[in-house]
Amino acid sequence: MDYGVVKLIHQSAVTLSFLGFLARGLGMMADSDWVRDRVARTLPHIIDTILLLSGVALALQLRLSPTAAPWLAAKLVGLAVYIGLGMVALRRGRTKRQRTVAWIAALLTFGYIVSVALAKDPLGFLALLRGAG
Ligand code: HEM
């Protein structure tokens, strides 16, 4: 498949994943019933699978490996942290306070992953500071 198309799929999945996680967190805080609906619980898995597979496809097409490209390794570590925090935020957190803190931390982690992808640097947005200093 054309590289540009795969990249567009990846970027679209990134946007949908972010918006979905944002909405489910807001629903969680508002105790909304829709958060427990079948669609609200299934759709994120489909979007996140597309996100992951398109990312792997991009890396393969660029012949990148996490051992040779530190920014890709940083993305994968970030992804693992995001998944863990997301589980605490939407499922495992025992109090609403715990879930909310995990949700905010997950959103910040997501922002870090995006900035790593844009900067192609494991420091992500922090690399901008290095440039300024
Ligand atoms: C939460 C997870 C992820 C987020 C938020 C994310 C975000 C992004 C974004 C925003 C871009 C576009 C950068 C640009 O426009 O230059 C991108 C590109 C890319 N992503 Fe991801 N990504 C994620 C997961 C992954 C995974 C799991 C892989 C690989 C295993 C991956 C591999 C890549 C590659 C190779 C590019 C480079 C595309 C290019 O510059 O041509 N991503 N990612």
Tens of pLDDT, residues 72-87: 999 999 999 999 999 9
Q: How far is the CA of 127 from the centre of ligand 1 (A)?
A: 17
Q: Which residue's CA lies nearest to atom 15 of ligand 1?
A: 118
| Mean pLDDT to the nearest integer, 9-38 | 96
pLDDT of residue 104 exceeding 80: yes
Q: Which domain holds residue 69?
A: 3-132
Residues 73 and 103: their CA atoms lie apart, in Å, by 23
pLDDT digits (tens, 9 = 90+) for 26-47: 999 999 999 999 999 999 999 9
Exposed/middle/buried for 89, CB within 10 Å: 0-12, 13-18, 19+? buried
Does ligand 1 lie within 6 Å of residue 58's CB atom? yes
pLDDT at position 11 is 98
Q: The pTM is what?
A: 0.91
Residue 47, C-beta contacts closer than 8 angstroms, at least 6 positions apart: 13, 16, 17, 20
Q: How many domains does the chain have?
A: 1
pLDDT of residue 1 exceeding 90: no
Residue with tokens 């957190």: 93
Asked if residues 67 and 73 have their Cβ atoms less than 8 Å apart, the reply is yes
Per the prediction, the chain carries an average pLDDT of 94
Residues 126 and 12: their CA atoms lie apart, in Å, by 25
Residues 73 and 79: their CA atoms lie apart, in Å, by 10
pLDDT of residue 133 exceeding 80: no
